[in-house]
Amino acid sequence: MSTLSYIIWDIDPEIISSPISIRYYGMLFASAFIAGYYLLQRMFKQDDVPNEWLDSVLMHTIIGTVAGARIGHCLFYDWAYFKDHILEIFLPVAFEPELHFTGFQGLASHGAAIGIIIALFIWSRKVSKKNILWILDRVVVAVASGAFFIRMGNLMNSEIIGEPTTVAWAFVFKYVDGMPRHPTQVYEALAYLTIFIILAFLFWKKDWSKRQGGIFGLFLILLFGFRFCIEFMKENQVSFEDSMALNMGQWLSIPFVLIGAYFLARSKKSNSHG
């Protein structure tokens, strides 16, 4: 099949480059938190809890997301380099061969998940005094919607690309190479949007807000279960994955799915006794 039959993806990641660089990814990343703020605002209003909690939840979630995603990438995907360049984990610069600005290149979604859970554990202990599962059941609905925006940002960056394919809907990423590939960013974005719709429906229409840990558990199963499957269509992110039967993303997804199954089963049991 001719490449003319495929979708040619040649979007410039930068919206404007001067006087400052504004990229689609940054705007979509910010949109994820804006959408999440709106969703949590609705949830908190329904639960009749202090509105003042909203800003502190958002701040803890942002810090947990960014710090967890950055540290996760450095530990899981590039520790061979960062173990000798510890400061570069936390600073947007490289010191070799000379000091230069790099930005924070590399964010890992599994690290973000861990960071969010830790941050919200701290929030639940210091601010709300509620069980951590109460806030996790709410935040993961917002996270699912945010994941849609993040993957669309990856699409605009022509990154996290799929394996070569001949399917009719293949994308040719002109900023990468001339090969038709699975648009795995689109697959993931649509999957995460679907997961958001399912979780939102259960929260607002099926009263799952009272099943402590149920939405959180289902979120982990659906999101990381899909993540495990979609990795078979992706290019490996780092070279050491080429020799692995399962790549790093898949190995990291397995415990999240198992933890999700535990909390989902636990929520059913508690609900049946409630």
- Amino acid in the structure at residue 229: C
How would you classify the pairing of strands 7-9 and 171-173? parallel
* Alpha-carbon separation of residue 106 from 7, 73, 158, 274 (angstroms): 27, 6, 14, 44
**Residue 13 φ/ψ, nearest 5 degrees:** -60, -25
| N-to-C CA span, the chain | 59
Tens-digit pLDDT string for the chain (274 aa): 455 589 999 999 999 988 888 899 999 999 999 999 999 999 999 999 998 999 999 999 999 999 999 999 999 998 888 888 888 888 776 777 777 666 666 788 999 999 999 999 999 999 998 999 999 999 999 999 999 999 999 999 999 999 999 999 999 999 999 899 999 999 999 999 999 999 999 999 998 988 999 999 999 999 999 999 999 999 988 888 888 889 999 999 999 999 999 999 999 876 644 4
User: Which residues does 60 contact at the CB level (< 8 Å), separation at least 6?
Assistant: 119, 120, 122, 123
Side-chain-side CA neighbours of residue 28 (13 Å)? 20
User: Given the structure tokens 């790099």, which residue do they identify?
Assistant: 102
Tokens of 170: 């293949």
Quick one: which of 128, 87, 137 has its CA closest to 267? 137
How would you classify the pairing of strands 22-23 and 14-16? antiparallel
**Residue 8 φ/ψ, nearest 5 degrees:** -85, 115
Question: pTM of this prediction?
Answer: 0.89
Gap between the Cα atoms of 35 and 40, Å rounded: 9
